[in-house]
A and B are shown apart, each in its own frame.
Chain A
Amino acid sequence: MVHQYQLNGYNIVLDTCSGAIHVVDEVAYDVIAMFEGHTPEEIVAAMLEKYAGRDDVTAEELRACIEDVQGLKDAGKLFTPDTFADMAGTFKERSGDVVKALCLHVAHTCNLNCSYCFASQGKYHGDRALMSFEVGKQALDFLIEHSGTRTNLEVDFFGGEPLMNWDVVKRLVEYARSIEKEKGKHFRFTLTTNGMLIDDDVIDFANREMSNVVLSLDGRKEIHDRLRVDYAGNGSYDRIVPKFQRLVEARGGKNYYMRGTFTHANPDFTNDVFHMADLGFTELSMEPVVCAPDDPAALTPEDLEVVKEQYEILAKDMLRREKEGKPITFYHYMLDLTGGPCIYKRISGCGSGTEYMAVTPWGDLYPCHQFVGEESYKLGNVWQGVTNTKLREEFRACNAYARPECADCWAKLYCSGGCAANAYHATGSIRGVYEAGCELFRKRIECAIMMKAAEEAAEEEA
């Protein structure tokens, strides 16, 4: 499958199944669009008519261009047939029942009261609770026991607000470190925090032990303070920003993300991204809100158009910043074209419900953090393991080829069929399609690839 689009002055051609990307001029762009289903003579005639008056567009030159296109096809870089569909279902079966990543909900409580929180102020529609060390330790043992031959194991300390159970977090890290060598494993920890309880101890420990920290900030003060408030209704911006700045500086500016959520209140979210950059942060992520369509924070169809435009503005501004030697990173624009994921990963996706699970403070297992609180999605617990094997098989069957709606989508090997939780919340089924999310995802990938084209062009120019 081939996807062609024009953005920021670039004509871009993606060959979905090989992963090849071509940046072409407008003539080749049109030639490629006609290539399948037309004879070379028909293409030459059509191009001569369209580009009449242009000296560089001659029959001979067009034939050379058609030969180049044919050469790319022969080399498996254009019009590559989709040979993955038949094997897609088998990819996840190969890893058996291996688990390699856990999201530990160490605190189902929060010191902020953000109205848009998908976790319902950390409670996940249930009771407030803190995870005990014993439950967390059992979760780590469960992970090691089920990790098979995998070396890299990931554990995210999540909530609610994990710093409300900081001592347990530290003890769990110490426990994991004490056994990882003898077990032949390597733990990578992530901390996701709203920042309210960051102090010197948190900074020292997190910067020593956490491979990644995710710091929640929605951008401009008036945007952040509108929804991210404490239980007295006071905004948190002034209290957390200096702490985030201290933590990031002590961390050497690496391996962190400022992570914001944008809503109906700020579809012009690039201003929030730029605000974070003005605060000195460079590793940035902004996500569309996940909530019911009737929630006042939900993005409307009109907002989506604004958001798509914003993604373009962001990409262009990032290129400008790169040129000026002051680059920023946007999580969704990070593409590693030569060292990125293999086809197995691209088809299999995030591994929710199979390789990746969330653990509640009581030790129950769910397919991911977004399913916690949905009783029918309970997979089992950290003592007995996965007991709802039927549910695990449903998640195992989710992949880039599982949904008929994705059959003709050029982006399916970038999104792996999309987020199961988003699909469930939008359609009631993990095999559904969250179309608004797809639309934004496709736009982000188009922008990210355009940036690669621009960077390549800038390099050549230099």
Chain B
Amino acid sequence: MMKRIKTLETRSLCESAKKGGCGECQTSCQSACKTSCGVANQKCENADK
């Protein structure tokens, strides 16, 4: 247990390289923005992650 550091639970990007890239997730601009790119709020839809 670290006294001064709290690590939030996140998906490891390095690990995601192993099984990622299925391309099933939503295209960013199809959701709400239409004028700026941001992929971080897209949900992963890989059935085999």
Contacts and interface: CB of A to CB of B under 8 A. Distances in A.
A214 interface: yes
A137 interface: no
B39 A152 contact: no
Contacts of B24: 150-152
A346 B34 contact: no
Interface in A20-43: 20-25, 27-28, 31
Nearest to A456: B8
A18 B13 contact: yes
Contacts of A118: 35
A346 B33 contact: no
A28 B5 contact: yes
Contacts of B16: 342-344
A190 B17 contact: no
A19 B13 CA distance: 6
B23 A27 contact: no
A292 B38 CA distance: 21
Given A100-B23, A152-B45, A336-B43, A21 B8 contact: yes
Interface in B1-49: 2-14, 16-17, 19-21, 23-46, 49
Interface in A86-123: 87, 91, 94-95, 98, 100-101, 103, 118
Nearest to B20: A342
A374 to B, nearest CB: 16
Contacts of A150: 23-24
B38 to A, nearest CB: 6
B32 to A, nearest CB: 4
A441 interface: yes
A413 interface: yes
B39 A341 contact: yes
B5 A342 contact: no
B26 A76 contact: no
Which residue among B9, B11, B28, B30 has the maximum number of chain A CB atoms within 10 Å of its CB?
B30
A259 B34 contact: yes
Interface string A332-343: 101111111111
Given A19-B10, A345-B25, A419-B36, A340 B42 contact: yes
Q: Is the interface of A mostly helix, strand, loop or mixed?
A: mixed
Contacts of A22: 5-8
Contact of B30 (A23, A190, A344): A190
B4 to A, nearest CB: 4
Contacts of A156: 30
A340 B40 CA distance: 7
A76 B40 contact: no
Interface in A56-78: 61, 64-65, 68-69, 72, 76-77
B39 to A, nearest CB: 5
A83 B18 CA distance: 13
A418 interface: yes
B6 to A, nearest CB: 5
A350 B19 CA distance: 19
Contact of A352 (B12, B29, B31, B43): B29
B37 A415 contact: yes
A98 B4 CA distance: 47
Contact of B12 (A76, A98, A355): A76
A263 interface: no
Which residue among B12, B27, B40 has the maximum number of chain A CB atoms within 10 Å of its CB?
B40
B10 A21 contact: yes
A370 to B, nearest CB: 7
Interface of A: 17-25, 27-28, 31, 61, 64-65, 68-69, 72, 76-77, 80, 83-84, 87, 91, 94-95, 98, 100-101, 103, 118, 150-152, 154, 156, 188, 190, 192, 212, 214, 257, 259, 261, 285, 287-288, 290, 331-332, 334-346, 349-352, 355-356, 368-370, 413-422, 437, 441, 444-445, 448, 452-453, 456
Given A338-B10, A419-B37, 12 more contacts: A18-B14, A19-B11, A23-B6, A69-B5, A91-B21, A94-B21, A331-B33, A341-B43, A342-B17, A370-B35, A414-B40, A422-B35
Interface of B: 2-14, 16-17, 19-21, 23-46, 49
21 contacts: A19-B13, A68-B3, A72-B7, A94-B21, A150-B23, A192-B34, A259-B33, A285-B32, A288-B36, A290-B35, A341-B25, A342-B13, A343-B20, A345-B21, A346-B39, A350-B37, A355-B27, A369-B34, A414-B39, A416-B37, A416-B39
